[in-house]
Chain A
């Protein structure tokens, strides 16, 4: 498919465990974004990558959150020592540098018990 894909679609974990969420952007898109959306809330910006530039991490809520993007393509968002308040849908989006809009993936629903 040509769209943004994310895996897993659902993740249930126990408090204190680490989780990794994966995003495959649209091929050729240089910008990649991670957002968090809690139930009934808007999108909370977490981090974005633009080409080979240093990522903008200003939205990461704590040092338990980190993300990397390998080879300018796939990105992994890692949450260490998960807490119940981390439960949310994590959305990934990509954009071409000259693109007019972001294309969103289907999201990963994370539930921390």
Chain B
């Protein structure tokens, strides 16, 4: 089974609107971390936001927030007030077994291509 599933290969959003990028995950661990990365056309991978499985509140970083629904095993990324520079690929990722510090492998989804329309 896929560890990370991103079901939206491509998304469009109007500039200044909000957009949600979906991510579901599969793990039997109790302690894990969820991440979102942005990859612009230049190719670099840029860390956006992190959510720990024990964090009670949804993570927020500026215009990025993570809608964490543990029971549904979903970790959707919400980008508010979209900007043209947000056009990029977005990858959801998971790291398991955080507390034991033995799980260091990251699992990535296949990505969602976001296009912001002026």
Question: Which residues of A come within 8 Å of B, CB atoms?
Answer: 31, 33, 35, 41-43, 45, 48, 50, 56, 89, 91, 93, 95, 97-98, 100-104, 106-107
Contact = CB atoms under 8 A, between A and B. Distances in A.
Contact of A100 (B33, B101, B108): B33
A42 B110 contact: yes
Contacts of B43: 89, 106-107
B91 interface: yes
B101 A101 contact: no
Interface stretch (B13-21, B44-52, B62-70): B44-52
Given A101-B35, A104-B45, 12 more contacts: A42-B91, A42-B109, A45-B105, A48-B104, A89-B43, A95-B106, A97-B101, A98-B101, A101-B47, A102-B47, A104-B37, A107-B44
B45 A91 contact: yes
Which label, helix, strand, loop or mixed, suits the secondary structure of the A interface?
Answer: strand
A48 B105 CA distance: 7
Contact of A95 (B44, B91, B104, B108): B104
Interface residues on B, range: 10 to 19
Contacts of A50: 104
6 cross-chain pairs, A with B, having the tightest CB-CB distances, nearest first: A104-B45, A42-B110, A43-B108, A31-B104, A101-B47, A100-B50
